[in-house]
Amino acid sequence: MTEVTGTEALARVKELVEDIDFTMLTTQDDDGQLVSRPMSTRQMDDSGDIWFFTAEDTKKVDEAEEHRNVGLAYLDAKGHRYVSVAGRAQIVHDEAKMRELYSPDLDIWFEDGLDTPGIVLLRVTPMQCEFWEPKHGRIVSAAAMLKALVTKDTPDDMTSHGKVSR
Amino acid sequence: MTEVTGTEALARVKELVEDIDFTMLTTQDDDGQLVSRPMSTRQMDDSGDIWFFTAEDTKKVDEAEEHRNVGLAYLDAKGHRYVSVAGRAQIVHDEAKMRELYSPDLDIWFEDGLDTPGIVLLRVTPMQCEFWEPKHGRIVSAAAMLKALVTKDTPDDMTSHGKVSR
């Protein structure tokens, strides 16, 4: 497995999370259970923070404020690309940032756009990121995995793996 | 949003998790951070338990034994299908069950198949399941969502949503 670390890994995480877009946000509920729901990624900014829109009056916001450690799971099974982000959540009221990140496709969830009552930003500050993806692109990887099946080679040399902690 | 509950919802969860297959398993590490990694779903059995293979000597197994509340996030962004499973994890040594669930495609991760040292089963017993999927299939849903964008209708009537708790 090729190991990628530091700024190279963080740059790749940014590309992956913005490209995969949809993620499952995991929070801890009052019973300590790890529950998740889909979210659309708006941006991973230059400091590494990942931004989402949400409605303030929701269970996930209550849970994220009670237990600020949250998880983001990105999964592109077809492309064999996976990203784990463990981070700290924060609700942010920032109109300029909201205008920067809003786009009309969000009107599906926020019917009055940025005027929708209770619309806020959710910022996740990553503490640990980890990712897995094929080293040689999708098709070559699929062929290589097939070969591994036949020859019983382990697929370790076909996967890029990166980890970033702070 | 169409609400589905009880056995109907559980049957649909089984179809979704076995079809989506790849999931991100979230555990809580020693710092309380919610970390995840990809896993391939073997089965959701008749009692609702979800089964995986893993190597016993891994961080995720240590974490799942320390904090038995884990999360499973299933995400099929293209099909707009999402499942959240909050459950309790248990390592299971059961040779008959392992023979039942093993298939040769797992040789990629377990090079000696069921003779690989340390191969064990990880069982997740769901405590809460929740899912989201388009009500009228992918294509109709995409069209309806486009209409929602134009007319500013909310998409509530286009999504099936189910929840199961115990």
**Mean pLDDT of chain B, nearest integer:** 85
Q: State the pairing for strand pair A50-55/A119-134.
A: antiparallel
Quick one: pLDDT at residue A137? Answer: 52
Look at residues A145, A128, A115, A149 and name the one whose alpha carbon lies nearest to residue A9. A128
Q: Is the pLDDT of residue B7 over 60?
A: yes
Q: Is the pLDDT of residue B120 over 80?
A: yes
Percent of chain A scoring above 70 in pLDDT = 84
Residue with tokens 């849970």: A63
Query: Cβ contact (<8 Å) for A108 and B154?
Result: yes
Query: Cβ contact (<8 Å) for B82 and A28?
Result: no
Quick one: pLDDT at residue B8? Answer: 82
From the list B34, B77, B152, the residue facing A26 with the nearest CB is B34
Dump pLDDT digits (tens) for B54-104: 999 999 999 999 999 999 999 998 888 999 999 999 999 999 999 999 999
pLDDT band at residue A136 using 50, 70 and 90 as cut-offs: low
**Cβ contacts of B149 on chain A, cutoff 8 Å:** 104-105, 107-108
Residues 60-99 of A with CB under 8 A from B: 69-71, 73-78, 82, 84, 86
Dump pLDDT digits (tens) for A49-104: 999 999 999 999 999 999 999 999 999 988 889 999 999 999 999 999 999 999 99
- Looking at residue B11, its amino acid is A
Other beta carbons less than 10 A from residue B2's beta carbon: 11
Q: Is the pLDDT of residue A145 over 50?
A: no
pLDDT band at residue B137 using 50, 70 and 90 as cut-offs: low
Distance from CA of A132 to the nearest CA of B (A): 9
Give the ipTM of the model, two decimals please: 0.84
Distance from CA of B109 to the nearest CA of A (A): 7
- Please indicate, yes or no, whether the overall pTM of this predicted structure exceeds 0.90: no
Is the CA virtual torsion A133, B31, A72, B43 positive or negative?
Answer: positive
Query: Cβ contact (<8 Å) for B107 and A32?
Result: no
Quick one: pLDDT at residue A143? Answer: 45
From the list B24, B104, B108, the residue facing A84 with the nearest CB is B24
Cβ-in-10-Å burial (0-12, 13-18, 19+) of B54 comes to buried
From the list B32, B76, B149, the residue facing A107 with the nearest CB is B149
**Cβ contacts of A24 on chain B, cutoff 8 Å:** 24, 73-75, 82, 84
Quick one: pLDDT at residue A79? Answer: 87
Burial A89-106 (b: 16+ CB within 10 A, else e): beeeeeeebbeebbeeeb
Q: Is the pLDDT of residue B138 over 60?
A: no
DSSP secondary structure letters along chain B: -EEEEHHHHHHHHHHHHHHH-EEEEEEE-TTS-EEEEEEE--EE-TTS-EEEEEESSSHHHHHHHHS-EEEEEEEETTTTEEEEEEEEEEEE--HHHHHHH--GGGGGT-TTGGGSTTEEEEEEEEEEEEEEEETT-HHHHHHHHHHHHHH---GGGGEEEEEEE-
Quick one: pLDDT at residue A109? Answer: 86
Given CB atoms, is B128 within the 8 Å cutoff of chain A? Answer: yes
Quick one: pLDDT at residue A158? Answer: 61
Given CB atoms, is A132 within the 8 Å cutoff of chain B? Answer: yes
Of A106-120, A140-154, B133-147, minimum mean pLDDT range:
A140-154
Dump pLDDT digits (tens) for A157-166: 567 788 777 6
